[in-house]
Structure 1
Amino acid sequence: MWFRPLAWSLPPDAAARLRPLGGLAFLDSAAPGGPNGRWSLVAAAPSAEFTASLAETRFAGRRLAAAPFVALDTVLARYRLAPPPGAPPFCGGLVGFLAFEAAHLLETLARPRDLGDDRALVSLGLYDTALVFDHDNASACLVSAGFDETLDASAPEPARRRRAEARMDAFEAALANPTPVETGGPVTLDPAGWRSDRDASAYAAMVEAVRETILDGDIFQANMARRLEADLPPDFDAFGFYRRLRGANPAPYGAYLERPDRIVASSSPELFLRLRGGLVETRPIKGTARRGADQAADAAAAAALQTSEKDRAENVMIVDLLRNDLSRVCEPESVEVPLLCALESFAGLHHLVSAVTGRLKPGVGAGALLAASFPGGSITGAPKIRAIDVITEHEERSRSLYCGSIAALSFTGDADLSIAIRTVEFAGNRVVFGTGGGVTVLSNGADEYRETETKAARILAAFAPDPA
């Protein structure tokens, strides 16, 4: 792989300039600072697509016989590159998303009524070249592997270097555009145009039904949600909206993706998986409180969250589930919990966050890690498989990307995946997003509905027109 240092620029401006190259993938630490906000990346012009549906798995236009996550590891192994010292965590690779229903590629589950065999449940572009930002050092560099159009990983190094230099030249030329390309279309929607698939009464009834399932001993917890959607004007500017979203709700795992069948805008605060040199970390969020209007109210809200019996119980339960998930693919005795129910504060919300870490067994790749742990336990419930069936029974429709994952899988073997919450999908003339929370035996339907309102508020605010 080859690197080219560049002068620092604002990542969203760079993303706007590279957007005309097509297939934009912008993973955006819009809340830099600390270990979870160091890196951002912008990639464009993917050279191939990896997709998986219930019907088939395909890469670079060819159907693959292997199971989807085995095929994913096979593809990543084909392009495996050793990172030089000091390399960023992403040096080219696969970037895209896994829908929540990608769980159906792993387990036999109750099927949502609208889940078709051909729907893309995994959608990842192969990006040979990317622009990577290091927020800690205010530095940026281009990186390119120089694979040819046939994706021949064994091509001679001189030829690969020529291709890498040509691609980095193309990126630099696009970045030299003096002004970011903007469509000029609308970026806001009429607040009255939003539709929810459940009102407060229906949501409370769903929560009570799930509580009965818990009291029957069927599950311990389930993460339930409702869906909001609205119609879009034909010239709506999704990228312009994402700029508003990252300003209204800056998050360490922001993302803007232009995939073949949809556009995704995300401001997720939650890390699903981070993989560095065989060391894996997951950081589940369970427990949410709205931030106070002043310092005293904010401190009181944080203190109430930290002492909440329900929120702590939820968090600890999911930590146990994730320890079990990681133990399936990690070295014995390596799985640890270095952080439990710590308070982390974001724009508008406080959360309780834990961390579970481990060391992968030799030969275990990102695909096998995903097969052991997807979907994230924090947005399913416990036990996981039965909780997913309970979710389907009551929600009935597919969640799509909501509560799935946005992924960057590097040629070097490293990986970063977020939980796709606070995440909006644009497809055709509609926009949709989900909002939800964990239901336990201690849940109250009215309180759970208010939590969904709290979590949706920042997204709705980003869509709302500015005050006159």
Structure 2
Amino acid sequence: MQQGGTAGLSPVLVRGQVFLFYQDLLGGYLAFVNQIPAVFYVKEEIIVKETSLTEARCLAESGGAVPIVRQLLADMVTPLGLMSLIRKDHDRYFLLESLEGIDARGRYSFIGYDPLLRLSAKDFAVTVETRKGTQKSGKGPLDLIRNYLKEYQNPKVPGLPPFTGGFVGYFSYDFIQYCEPSLRFDPKKATDFPDFDLMFFDKVIVFDAFKQTLFLIANAKADAIDETYKKAIRDLDVMETLVKTPVQAPQEEPAHLGPIASNQTRETYNENIARIKHFIREGDIFQAVYSQCFSASYDKDLFSFYRVLRRTNPSQYMMLMKLGDTEIAGSSPETLIRLEGRTITSMPIAGTWRRGRTEEEEKRLEEDLTQDAKELAEHNMLVDLARNDVGKVSEFGSVKVHDLHHVKRFSHVMHLTSRVTGQLKKGLDAIDTLCAALPAGTLSGAPKIRACEILDGLEPQRRGPYGGGIGYLDLSGNMDICITIRTAVKRGDTVYFQSGGGIVADSVTENEFQETLNKSGAVKDALMKTAEAE
């Protein structure tokens, strides 16, 4: 029997253009052939593939939930066009995409709206919001996340995108308290942001930029598959109607952006750098990542901001999401932690230089960066910390470092990057992996726990989403979480963005302050562009 994402296909009838589709039984390979003698027509949609009830029944034998898939040709639909429709009628949605080329990651864009539930926690009090209402939960927050993922666990289906449903949202920097019982932050510095805020999606839309196809996915509970399959097909019909809706270019009025202010003065910032260097000399820590938060009034949603940011600062992790009262839009270059099967990946970024104004200056600055003793020492220290974090949950001897000191360029800065991998220990899962990694050493310091304690004492308020992680935990046990940097967060009529720099023994105070301005430049510039009058 042919199953899941690799089911066999008959030639597909196409209106107005000639295609012949072949389906490879194992690889999900799709061939497009133009201008062939045999011509076939249909009236409307071009359906490449759809999961049958027979296939769903077979997959349901493993329990959990079955991804019911309808695959369409998508050469006339774009993720941003679809988001422009969704944002008009929904206040809970997400877009996750990558703008680093059509590779294993960059080929997919993920969209979800109308989540099954929203799960958040503040100071260990858990709130569950469903379509029926909101209630508090007495269950442990980490176990609650695990329970929902287990209830909807997907079978392994070859040929499907890496995300077919699950949790999408953010884990704040403060989430470390849920994983380290000895660590408690100052309650007087708390903000309104939850410690984590997640939406659970049983339906997703996935764009495959490589094959120019669209996956509509609705998860059907396995314990009553005949009935849940019918509901999933109805959900797919609704999603198909949405993606076929004509999109008009949005006519956006310029936003009103108020004066941008920091939560501390330059003098205070410099004084606290001196205090951190004192802790380093005393042997408490080797490094700490001190930050400042910027805020301003902003009277529009973040859609236009995101459109500007994805054009001016394309990165590996692009995100736009609305979680009811909170909006997030960002362009993060850094993987916090990724779990694919049993392979764990962390990609620390540490060591920052500004971009050159000319090609000649760019080459000189790259050479300076790769030979700067302070930047190399900081990077090596944080690679060691990433090795330690990955090693906590990896099989002995499996942790490896790849591409050490690789230079990566972004719109305003260049960074030193490395990649750390390991193989997850038996009996552990994505939540264990996340707890081992969050917050990243590149956003806290080394040793991590003591650095977090010192930062909590010095920074004027809790960080909230900044320095934590944004991404997904899927229904097959996988996870992809980036670090929340180069990101704007809007709550009410106020937009926030934050940046920091790693402080070591020989840090130059004025340079460190300027580094935070360089790092926040992409977000600040994008906000200002959306506020410019036409």
**Considering the TM-score relative to the shorter chain, is it more than 0.5?**
yes
1:173 aligns with 2:241: yes
| Offset of residue 112 of structure 1 | 3.5
Judge conservation of contact 2:306–2:329 (CA < 8 Å) in 1.
Answer: yes
| Offset of residue 44 of structure 1 | 0.5
Q: 1:295 to 1:439 in 2, by over 3 A?
A: same
Q: Distance in 2 between matches of 1:213 and 1:238?
A: 39
TM-score normalised to the size of structure 2? 0.81
Residue of structure 1 in register with 2:337 after alignment? 273
Q: Residue 464 of structure 1: SS of its match in structure 2?
A: helix
Q: Which residue of the other structure, out of 230, 240, 261, is the alignment partner of 1:195? A: 261
1:370 aligns with 2:439: no
Q: Distance in 1 between matches of 2:495 and 2:145?
A: 29
Q: Distance in 1 between matches of 2:194 and 2:476?
A: 26
- State the Cα RMSD in Å: 2.1
Q: Which residue of the other structure, out of 159, 165, 171, is the alignment partner of 1:86? A: 159
| Offset of residue 409 of structure 1 | 0.9
Q: 1:425 to 1:172 in 2, by over 3 A?
A: same
Q: Structure 2 unaligned runs (5+)?
A: 1-66
Q: 1:389 to 1:180 in 2, by over 3 A?
A: farther
Q: Distance in 2 between matches of 1:127 and 1:13?
A: 20
CA offset digits 1:169-192 (Å, max 9, x no partner): 2122222221258473434625xx
Residue of structure 1 in register with 2:169 after alignment? 96
Larger Rg: 2
Judge conservation of contact 1:325–1:372 (CA < 8 Å) in 2.
Answer: yes
Residue of structure 2 in register with 1:255 after alignment? 319
What letter corresponds to residue 274 of structure 2 in structure 1?
A: E
Q: Which residue of the other structure, out of 339, 342, 353, is the alignment partner of 2:403? A: 339
1:350 aligns with 2:350: no
Give the stretch that moved more between structures: 326-335 or 113-122: 113-122
Give the stretch that moved more between structures: 88-97 or 99-108: 99-108
| Offset of residue 380 of structure 1 | 0.7
Q: Distance in 2 between matches of 1:33 and 1:154?
A: 34
Aligned pairs for 1:286-301 within 5 A: 286-301=350-365
Q: Distance in 2 between matches of 1:16 and 1:180?
A: 9
Aligned pairs for 1:297-336 within 5 A: 297-336=361-400
Residue of structure 2 in register with 1:11 after alignment? 79
Give the stretch that moved more between structures: 167-176 or 438-447: 167-176
1:221 aligns with 2:290: no
CA offset digits 1:118-166 (Å, max 9, x no partner): 85211111111111123344433112213xxxxxx44322222222221
Q: Residue 319 of structure 2: SS of its match in structure 1?
A: strand
Residue of structure 2 in register with 1:149 after alignment? none
| Offset of residue 220 of structure 1 | 0.6
Judge conservation of contact 1:46–1:126 (CA < 8 Å) in 2.
Answer: yes
Q: Residue 420 of structure 2: SS of its match in structure 1?
A: strand
1:246 aligns with 2:320: no
Q: Which residue of the other structure, out of 116, 121, 124, is the alignment partner of 2:195? A: 121
CA offset digits 1:261-317 (Å, max 9, x no partner): 310111111111111112110111101112111211111121111112112111111
Q: Distance in 2 between matches of 1:462 and 1:194?
A: 13
CA offset digits 1:51-102 (Å, max 9, x no partner): 2221423445555444322332232122111131121110111101111111
What letter corresponds to residue 524 of structure 2 in structure 1?
A: L
What letter corresponds to residue 73 of structure 1 in structure 2?
A: R
Q: Residue 92 of structure 2: SS of its match in structure 1?
A: coil
Q: Structure 1 unaligned runs (5+)?
A: 147-152
Q: Distance in 1 between matches of 2:322 and 2:269?
A: 32
| Offset of residue 21 of structure 1 | 3.9
1:109 aligns with 2:183: yes
Q: Distance in 1 between matches of 2:226 and 2:188?
A: 50
1:231 aligns with 2:304: no
Aligned pairs for 1:37-48 within 5 A: 37-48=106-117
1:25 aligns with 2:94: yes
1:144 aligns with 2:212: no
Aligned-residue sequence identity (percent) comes to 30
Q: Residue 209 of structure 1: SS of its match in structure 2?
A: helix
Q: Residue 223 of structure 2: SS of its match in structure 1?
A: coil
| Offset of residue 241 of structure 1 | 1.6
Residue of structure 1 in register with 2:516 after alignment? 452
| Offset of residue 354 of structure 1 | 1.0
Q: 1:181 to 1:72 in 2, by over 3 A?
A: farther
CA offset digits 1:185-243 (Å, max 9, x no partner): 434625xx10012233322222121111101100011111011101123xx13212211
Q: Residue 85 of structure 1: SS of its match in structure 2?
A: coil
Q: Residue 24 of structure 1: SS of its match in structure 2?
A: strand
Residue of structure 2 in register with 1:52 after alignment? 121
Matched residue pairs, number? 458
Residue of structure 2 in register with 1:150 after alignment? none
Give the stretch that moved more between structures: 26-35 or 253-262: 26-35
Q: Distance in 2 between matches of 1:348 and 1:34?
A: 24
Q: Distance in 2 between matches of 1:35 and 1:168?
A: 26
Q: Distance in 1 between matches of 2:165 and 2:356?
A: 41
Q: 1:118 to 1:454 in 2, by over 3 A?
A: closer
